[in-house]
Amino acid sequence: MVMALDGIKILDLSRLAPGPYCSMLLADFGADVTLVEAIPGVSAKLGGPRNPEGAQKQVAYNAFGRGKKSIALNLKDETARELFYEMVKNADVVLEGFRPGVVKRLGVDYETLSKINPRIICASISGFGQTGPYSNLVGHDINYTSTGGGLDVIGQKGQPPAIPINLVADFAGGGLMCAFAICVALLARQQTGRGQNVDVGMSDGVLSLMTSAFSGFFGSGTPVRRGESTLNGVTHFYNVYETKDGRWFSLGSIEPHFYEALTNVLGIEEMRHEQHNAERWPEFKEKVAAVMKTRTADEWMAEMSKYDICAATVLEMENVVTNPHNVARNMVIELDSPVGKVQQIGVAAKLSDTPGKPKSTGPMIGQHTDEILSGMGLSAEKIAALKASGAVG
């Protein structure tokens, strides 16, 4: 089966979530991804024990590694670095997620690698990007989401910002944005014949995700505040409510025809013609909350699904993976692994002619070192010597 990214070779130096997620997305569509990993034990930050107990199971369930190979190189070693340069000659993309300046010190930056392969695309994911006064600051998703403006608008009025799991900066603003940028750079290379440097700052990515909110702010001068706009909890018709069984249910009936259907099902006639009467929104919230507690979440879903009502049960993780819609969309898949069949999340983008499909579960660190080096023409004796010297693992 032909896949969209067949023939694209990616060397992935990244370690933390955004980079591996980025290369997972690309591997799912056929890219040949090789993880260039630290030799276990060489770095206190990046390497752990070679085969810790339960590592095979951990690797099998780690979707970020799926469809990839792994070579362990000590890039601080000159011999290992020369091996990496040989790999770069036939590669299309080098992906990294270090702090700014690290790849330069290691000698694997774009300036260096582009002299070896002018078609190479070097993609960097960092918290605040490669330039600017924050570029060398450390951080995590919560910090990048704060700088990009996302955190301040999530939560209830008068309450502290709600802290989302690390979806916003790490995965959307970082990994997904970088996968998009790499594909754009690959298309550009078809026009120019040259590679280029890609700089993805997660705080930039969050700010890009805030485009709609800031468009409103630039036009009106009124900023979005927590719990004070239609899309973050101020109204009764775009909100979440507890149900009879203690679960939560989401309503999003903004448009008049959806809203009318909602009032019919809830049986609150007085709300019908006062959808946008903000003075009554607190009162209407209480009325809706009372009605929603009269049925279970499943009962409400069954009832509201009969009509044009924007509504859905707030699914807990254990219910997400058994939800018939998610299952029908192949968003929960099974893969064979050394420890048996394992479940993972499937491929979100559905392409009709070149669909994505994970090729395998992830590798152990250095699992393919011998295979890759022998493919480069190195003898078994030479590989053994490199391992003994600590250049490879």
Report helix, strand or coil for 123.
strand
Q: How does DSSP classify residue 279?
A: G
Tokens of 266: 């809830």
Question: How far apart are the C-alpha atoms of 249 and 261, rounded to whole Å?
Answer: 17
Closest CA to 31 of 66, 71, 59: 66
Q: Is 170 a catalytic residue?
A: yes
Q: 124 near 130, Cβ under 8 Å?
A: yes
Quick one: which H or E segment has residue 273?
none
Q: 198 near 179, Cβ under 8 Å?
A: no
Question: How far apart are the C-alpha atoms of 37 and 155, rounded to whole Å?
Answer: 39
Question: How far apart are the C-alpha atoms of 57 and 339, rounded to whole Å?
Answer: 6
Residue type, 104: K
Tokens of 355: 């669909």
Sign of the C-alpha dihedral, residues 219, 220, 223, 224? Answer: negative
Closest CA to 145 of 46, 18, 320: 18
Beta bridge mates, 357: none
Q: Which of 140, 152, 298, 368 is catalytic?
A: 140
Burial of 131 (0-12, 13-18, 19+ CB in 10 A): exposed
Q: Which of 12, 170, 199, 204 is catalytic?
A: 170
Owner of token pair 């807990």: 316
Hey, which residues are catalytic here? 140, 170
